[in-house]
Structure 1
């Protein structure tokens, strides 16, 4: 199923800041990208940097042939093609403005990209259904709810690629947009303006049946692990009888934040982060992030919590990277079940962002994640119980069938 998160989806590890941009030619940038791949790439692709250079060097020379000046941005499209040959979703090129946006979001700052703030999915009958409304968003302020059906924006039908393009235009403009649709069969019309949004990573809701739903959206920013521990402390204080941990649409983030979050549920088994030149053993202990058995000063958890009660973890095809690491860790925990759809299948690598000399940057797979025995991790996780959102039921009732299925398991 193809979903659209009307927010910038990012992943995967440390903070990044674009470097000041000196005068750099297209050839310079091309050479720099090839060097980074040759020196540090440690992903699943068997394509060699030297082969990529041989293939694309004539194209770079053709771009710049006979020109007295050939700026770096002339090579951007070619570099994207080159990286596409790797067929590695975790290795990507970012323009200077994109890298700046990523850097802000990884630091927990509000970016400049405008969004309506909803996760939606296409309906077979046309239009899009709202799966989630993000806290603090324009959609929340306008009163959108899960299950709302969006049919048109500014009079353009939200069907297929044309509808997606209309949605993108309405978001980018930052001017009032009129949405028409239905809520549980009744006509609705709202006007809202897309705005920058800092996506809240952790939300907690307590249900009338005594269960808690812990929504964990990403691990991108410092402090996610602390928020998980704080939320579970509230769960324990409330005396809830079970927790639903929702990792759907979680594209991953910082490895250290995943480990700190895992420590709120169990004692996570250490992992090995293996690069081309060395390997580091990473883990969790007593609220601390461990590297080769040594507790790091930061990040750390103030007053760690430990929830030991019944747990159901929700995953789907957009659950990726660090969210897959967490799911795999929790599979070995007592009184835990995983339900949903098979995950994205990128839960065996780690990436970092590398600023380039013209201010652009690379997201590069620099390490493989290995288990405690230094064996490769499986890439994809298949849930113990299969489940997918009943979109027809969601539009009729506003209730998420996967969450309700999890609640049924916990209420037995």
Structure 2
């Protein structure tokens, strides 16, 4: 299922820091990236750094041939192409402006990238259907709802690549964009201006049928685990009959926040983080993040909660990294079912962000995740019950068929 989240999705175990950007050449930057790959890459690719250097060094030399100056930015496209040879979705190159944006988001600060704040999916009949409206977004302020169908933006049909490009242009301008569409078959015309958005990681809604839906969007920022514990404490106080944990479109985040979140549902088994040089045992205990059995000062949970009631976990092909780790952990929990689509398949590695000399950065797979027996984890999670959103039904009723299926399972 192809989805377009109008927000930036990030990866696992970040360490982005601001750094001065001294003058560097394209050759300097190329050499630095090769060094990082040769020294620290621990991902699934069999392609070696030396092979990449032999293949791409002549191309770098061509870039600078005969030029008195050859700035590092001249090599950006070539470095992106080179990293593509790894076929590792967790190893990527970021320009200085992209890295700055990532750093803000990972620190819980509002970035500068403008967004309408909706998760949408293409319809076979043309246009895009809204799957989720993000809290605090321009879409929420305008009154968009799940199930709304967006047909055109500024007069351009939202079909195919041209529609995607039009949507991107409209969000980047920072001026009102005119949307034409329908809500449950009735004409709906709206105007809204895309704006920077700090994506709320955790939302809780209590349903009239006595169930709770806990939406967990990412683990990117400090404090996600605390928000999960706080939400489940509210669930317990409300006396709900069961919880639907929605991990769809959750692209992952900080491994420590995943473990703290898992501790709100169960006693998670420890994992091992294996790098090129050592192996660390990580886990959870009594509200604390553990490294090699030692409780870390931060992050930690104030007044941990523990929800032990019935649970259904929702996943899809956008559920990745830490969200896959959490799903796998909860599979062994009593009274728990996982429904949805097979997950993204990056649930066995960890990445970090490495600032480079010119202010750009490298997202690098630096570790493999192992289970409690120090055996490799599977890359994907296959749900116990298959389910995909009925888009036609969503546009007719505004109701998410996968959530309703989960509610039915919990009501039995």
TM-score computed with the length of structure 2 as normaliser: 1.00
Shift of 1:13: 1.5
Shift of 1:290: 0.1
Q: Is the 8 A contact 2:15 2:354 kept in 1?
A: no
Distance 2:37 2:83 in 1: 9
Deviations 1:32-80 (A, max 9, x none): 0000000000000010000100000000000001100000000000000
Deviations 1:184-215 (A, max 9, x none): 00000000000000000000000000000000
Deviations 1:62-117 (A, max 9, x none): 00011000000000000001100000000000000000000000000000000000
Q: Which ranges in structure 2 are unaligned for 5 or more consecutive residues?
A: none
- The two structures, once aligned, show a CA RMSD in angstroms of 0.4
Deviations 1:235-286 (A, max 9, x none): 0000001000000000000000000000000000000000011000000000
* SS, match of residue 135 in structure 1: coil
Q: Is the 8 A contact 1:118 1:131 kept in 2?
A: yes
In structure 2, what is the equivalent of residue 161 of structure 1? 161
Shift of 1:15: 3.6
In structure 2, what is the equivalent of residue 357 of structure 1? 357
Q: Is the 8 A contact 1:17 1:99 kept in 2?
A: no
Q: Is the 8 A contact 2:117 2:133 kept in 1?
A: yes
Q: Is the 8 A contact 1:276 1:367 kept in 2?
A: yes
Shift of 1:17: 2.1
Q: Is the 8 A contact 1:18 1:96 kept in 2?
A: no
Distance 2:12 2:160 in 1: 30
Question: Which deviates more, 17-26 or 343-352?
Answer: 17-26
In structure 2, what is the equivalent of residue 316 of structure 1? 316
**How many residues align structurally?**
412
Question: Which deviates more, 14-23 or 340-349?
Answer: 14-23
Q: Which ranges in structure 1 are unaligned for 5 or more consecutive residues?
A: none
In structure 1, what is the equivalent of residue 138 of structure 2? 138
Q: Is the 8 A contact 1:153 1:178 kept in 2?
A: yes
In structure 1, what is the equivalent of residue 256 of structure 2? 256
* SS, match of residue 190 in structure 1: strand
* SS, match of residue 74 in structure 2: helix
Structure 1 runs, 4 residues or longer, greater than 3 Å off: none
Q: Is the 8 A contact 1:18 1:360 kept in 2?
A: no
* SS, match of residue 225 in structure 2: helix
Shift of 1:350: 0.1
Shift of 1:18: 3.4
TM-score computed with the length of structure 1 as normaliser: 1.00
Deviations 1:286-342 (A, max 9, x none): 000000000000000000000000000000000000000000000000000000000
Shift of 1:14: 2.3
Q: Is the 8 A contact 1:148 1:395 kept in 2?
A: yes
Distance 2:255 2:249 in 1: 17
Distance 2:150 2:372 in 1: 47
Shift of 1:19: 1.3
Q: Is the 8 A contact 1:18 1:99 kept in 2?
A: no
